[in-house]
């Protein structure tokens, strides 16, 4: 009887601890939601008419990932990254990628110094040693330079002369790419594209937003972004994202969506006819993290299937390749992804 009482007491204690943990997470998420809502509002005071783009950028950073911003020149990509850095309290640097840019120009290099009759090497860190790096027109850099950035994105460290140097945390890359101009560019390899959590397409603003842009940005004063979070608070929010529970139905939706995007095993006719290669397991991981981050950004304690549907395009569009038949018939990758999400709507 005493032994049974001890077992019962232990069970009650475990249940109480679980409830306490759930309450603790809920309180922390609620606090993070308030901060993120404030951050979103402050970003919107500087970036006009790009609510979806702002949301997807915040989701990318909350999930601890990197983003690829694709859009024609003049849509405010540089200003967006600078504003994100200021509002989220991140140190921010910008690199203009060119064909002659070398890995050392990004990562840093060792220099030989002489002091007191002795010589030694000292490491001079490059601009990649920041918390938010803007890689402007990344596809203009050579494959050698792109591969140097790849290691940093994947491992959050760089290797110089056989020694590893850790990057500041949190560390994020927001790269831009011009989809129109292709002369003198080096297309990003699939391995590097897969390292980006999302490909965020930036379109032209609607007429109301463009009116606001020309009125508010051509006067004597311009809106200045105000800090809403610190880097430590963002890092704490990133940890919270990974603690948000995900229901089995959402997990099944992610698996179904990603696996149906592979032409070798799908029953989707558009994928079989038009897709050359499909998304790998990293796409499933990205969808899981992004869905959790979107749930928290919108004030919910768990993601839904709707989050998976909404995030399917930015998460999958750079992880799938269209075949010749699709290009010949004018089929876009977003149309293929939409056909995959029809069963989840």
The position carrying tokens 């840093």 is 108
Domains and CATH numbers, the chain: 26-243 (3.40.50.300), 245-345 (1.10.8.80)
For the chain, percent of residues with pLDDT exceeding 70: 92
HSE-CB for 286 with a 13 A CA cutoff? 29
Mean pLDDT of all residues in 143-159: 84
Contacts of 121-128 with CB under 8 Å at 24 or more apart are: 121/161, 123/160, 123/163, 123/165, 125/165, 127/93, 127/94, 127/95, 128/93, 128/95, 128/152, 128/158, 128/167
The confidence score (pLDDT) of residue 181 equals 65
How does residue 56 score in pLDDT terms, banded at 50, 70 and 90? very high
Please determine, for residue 21, whether its predicted confidence score (pLDDT) is greater than 80: no
The confidence score (pLDDT) of residue 139 equals 86
Please determine, for residue 231, whether its predicted confidence score (pLDDT) is greater than 90: yes
The confidence score (pLDDT) of residue 15 equals 46
The confidence score (pLDDT) of residue 184 equals 63
For the chain, percent of residues with pLDDT exceeding 90: 43
Residue 64: closest CA among 9, 17, 132, 6: 132
Please determine, for residue 4, whether its predicted confidence score (pLDDT) is greater than 90: no
The pTM of this model reads 0.86
Distance CA 20, CA 23 (A): 5
Nearby residues of 137 by Cβ (< 8 Å), 6 or more positions away: 96, 97, 176, 177, 178
Per-residue pLDDT tens over the stretch 178-195:
777 666 677 787 777 888
């Amino acid at each position: 009887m005493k032994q049974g009482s001890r077992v019962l007491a232990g069970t009650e204690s475990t249940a109480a601890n679980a409830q306490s943990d759930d309450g603790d997470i809920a309180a922390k998420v609620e606090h993070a939601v308030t901060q993120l809502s404030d951050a979103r509002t402050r970003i919107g005071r500087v970036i006009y008419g790009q609510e979806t783009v702002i949301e997807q950028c915040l989701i990318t950073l909350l999930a601890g990932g990197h983003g690829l911003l694709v859009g024609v020149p003049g849509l405010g990509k540089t200003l967006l990254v600078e504003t994100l850095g200021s509002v989220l309290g991140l140190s921010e640097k910008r690199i203009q990628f060119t064909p002659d840019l070398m890995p050392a120009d990004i990562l840093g290099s060792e220099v030989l110094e002489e002091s007191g009759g002795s010589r030694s090497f000292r490491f001079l860190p490059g601009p990649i040693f920041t918390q938010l790096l803007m890689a402007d027109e990344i596809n203009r850099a050579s494959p050698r330079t792109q591969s140097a950035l790849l290691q940093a994105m994947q491992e959050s460290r760089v290797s110089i002369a056989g020694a590893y140097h850790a990057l500041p945390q949190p560390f994020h890359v927001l790269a831009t790419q011009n989809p129109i101009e292709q002369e003198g560019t080096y297309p990003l390899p699939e391995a590097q594209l897969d390292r980006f959590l999302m490909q965020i397409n930036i379109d032209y603003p609607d007429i109301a937003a463009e009116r606001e842009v020309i009125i508010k940005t051509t006067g004597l004063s311009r809106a200045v972004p105000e800090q809403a979070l610190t880097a430590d608070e963002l890092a704490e929010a990133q940890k919270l994202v990974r603690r948000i529970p995900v229901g089995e139905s959402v997990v099944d939706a992610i698996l179904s969506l990603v696996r149906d995007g592979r032409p070798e095993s799908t029953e989707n006719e558009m994928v079989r006819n038009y897709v050359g290669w499909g998304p790998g397991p990293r796409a499933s991981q990205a969808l899981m993290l992004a869905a959790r981050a979107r749930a928290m950004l919108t004030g919910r304690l768990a993601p839904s299937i709707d989050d998976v549907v909404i995030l399917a395009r930015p998460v999958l569009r750079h992880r799938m390749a269209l075949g010749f038949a699709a290009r010949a018939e004018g089929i876009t990758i977003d149309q293929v992804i939409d056909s995959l999400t029809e069963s989840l709507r």
